[in-house]
Amino acid sequence: MRQYPSFLNKALNFFSIVEIMAFNGIFLFNIVLVIIGFSMLFY
């Protein structure tokens, strides 16, 4: 196993977190759109 520099390791962790957040953000955005659609129907 090669030991990476700490800043590179932090960057890789950051990118993996961003990927997970973006993947979850797609679902959250769809849920928000559905909620907005329902609220427009009820108003």
Summarize pLDDT for 12-35 with one digit per residue, the tens.
Answer: 888 888 888 888 778 888 888 899
Encode burial over 10-23: b for 16+ CB neighbours within 10 A, e otherwise. eeeeeeeeeeeeee
C-alpha dihedral (31, 34, 40, 43), degrees to nearest 10: -70
Q: Which pairs from 12-18 meet CB under 8 Å and 24+ separation?
A: none
- For residue 30, what pLDDT is reported? 86
Quick one: pLDDT at residue 1? 56
Residue 43 or residue 20, greater confidence: 20
Confidence band for 4, pLDDT divided at 50, 70 and 90: low
Which residues, other chains included, contact 15 with Cβ-Cβ below 8 Å and sequence gap of 6+?
none
Q: Which pLDDT band, with edges at 50, 70 and 90, does 9 fall under?
A: confident
